[in-house]
Structure 1
Amino acid sequence: MLEIRWHGRGGQGAVTSGEMLTLAAIEEDKYGQGFPMFGPERRGSPVAAFTRVDEKQIKIRHYVYKPDAVVVLDAGLVDVVDVTEGLKPEGVIVINTSMSAEEMKKKLGFSGKVATVDATRIAWDELGVPIVNTTMLGALLKIVPIVKIASLKTPLEKRFGKIAKKNINALNRAYKEVKIS
């Protein structure tokens, strides 16, 4: 089973990212589970979401405490939240930042894999807004290929309608541009 923890701010799409990955897993006849963790926070407050994907039925129903991967939609959160908490030593963290993977790895003090992508720039270019959920999903799938990008097409079209194509473009660009250390 692959377990992922998403960190973002309210309104950035961390919950939607997890939901899209879960639906893509189901498209591939895998089992997926996704859910958020937040209270009465407002737009801009830190939020977390969780995703599990497996070939067999997922019977556990609790937060992800020891993720295989962590996705950070806002690099500013690394100064506010311990985004590496519980991350397995062989795990990977994917961060939206203009910093290099090497610089971010040093900043985090994490010995595992660190991947970076300037998802905000890509989102501005492709979507015209700094909402990075699908962009970060593309970066994650390059590093952790748990589902095929093609499996996201139907969930993205259902969720985003007319702007699905722009989201797919952003996802594909992040897939190509992500760097790992």
Structure 2
Amino acid sequence: MTGIRFHGRGGQGAVVASKILAKAYFSEGLYVQAFPSFGMERKGAAVAAFVRLDVDPIRERGEIRNPSAVIVLDPTLLQMVDVTRGLAPGGLIVLNYPDRNDPPPVDATFRVACVDAGRIAVQYGLGSRMSPIVNTVILGAFAKVAENLEIEHLVDAVKLGVPVKPAANANAALAASDAVRWVSGECNAA
């Protein structure tokens, strides 16, 4: 069984992203679950969402404590939340991180890929400069580096799963798949 954990802030679309990702994997013939973890948080508070996938029916319930991959929608969460909690060495982290010379503050024992999702979201009219909506963008980057998800299935799931601007969201995901860059632990397939 594979577990994927999302870290984001309320209003960024982490829950929607988890549902879209689950739909994309379902299109690949896998059994899936997608669910959030939050309480009374307001917009801007740290939230988590999860996706489970397997070739067999999934009976397990509850939070994913040892994910295979972590997707971080907001880089400021790196100072607030241990996004690597439960992730084994060599685990995948896909991070929304601006194109800068300084590397993200993540341990090099993990495979870390970054994309400037905010810039791409603004370029495609997703949200505003002050509050870009990066959820579908980061999914495009994830599809590129995850090695087990066809980008076409993700694009179809994005078009079906977003409430507005389906074409812009799909194009932004494709742009992110081309813009993602490895920071540490690059895979041969990327």
Check whether TM > 0.5: yes
Deviations 1:129-151 (A, max 9, x none): 21000001011111113321211
User: Cα distance, 1:53 vs. partner?
Assistant: 1.4
User: 1:124-176, CA deviations, whole angstroms, 9 ceiling, x for partnerless residues?
Assistant: 00124210000010111111133212113443233336611101111011111
Within a 5 Å distance, the mapping from 1:1-181 to structure 2 comes to 1-99=1-99, 103-104=103-104, 107-129=105-127, 130-160=132-162, 163-180=165-182, 181=184
Change (3 A) 1:101 1:91: farther
Native 8 Å contact 2:126 2:134 kept in 1? no
Equivalenced residues, count? 179
**Segments of 4+ moved more than 3 angstroms:** 99-102
In the TM superposition, what whole-angstrom CA distance separates every residue of 1:38-89 from its partner, at most 9, and x where no partner exists?
Answer: 0000010000001111112111111110111100000000001011111111
Q: Are 1:25 and 1:151, in contact at CA under 8 Å, matched by a contact in 2?
A: yes
Shift of 1:101: 9.0
TM-score (norm 1): 0.92
State how far apart, in whole Å, the 2-side matches of 1:162 and 1:96 are: 22
**Higher mean displacement: 31-40 or 149-158:** 149-158
Structure 1 gaps of 5+ residues are none
Q: Are the aligned partners of 1:8 and 1:72 in contact in 2 as well (CA < 8 Å)?
A: yes
Tell me, what secondary structure is at the counterpart of 2:133? Answer: coil
Give the share of equivalent positions with the same residue, in percent.
Answer: 42
Aligned amino acid, residue 157 of structure 1: K
CA deviations 1:69-121 (Å, max 9, x no partner) are: 100000000001011111111201111011569711xx223411111100000
CA distance in 1, matches of 2:68, 2:75: 19
Q: 1:70 to 1:100 in 2, by over 3 A?
A: farther
In the TM superposition, residue 33 of structure 1 has moved relative to its aligned partner by: 0.7
**Per the alignment, in what secondary structure is the counterpart of residue 118 of structure 2?**
helix
Query: How far apart, in 2, do the equivalents of 1:78 and 1:17 lie?
Result: 19
Structure with the higher fraction of residues in helix conformation: 1
Gap regions ≥5 residues in structure 2: 185-190
Q: CA RMSD in A?
A: 1.7
Separation in 1, partners of 2:48, 2:159? 24
With normalisation by structure 2, the TM-score equals 0.88
CA distance 1:128–1:28, shift in 2 (3 Å): closer
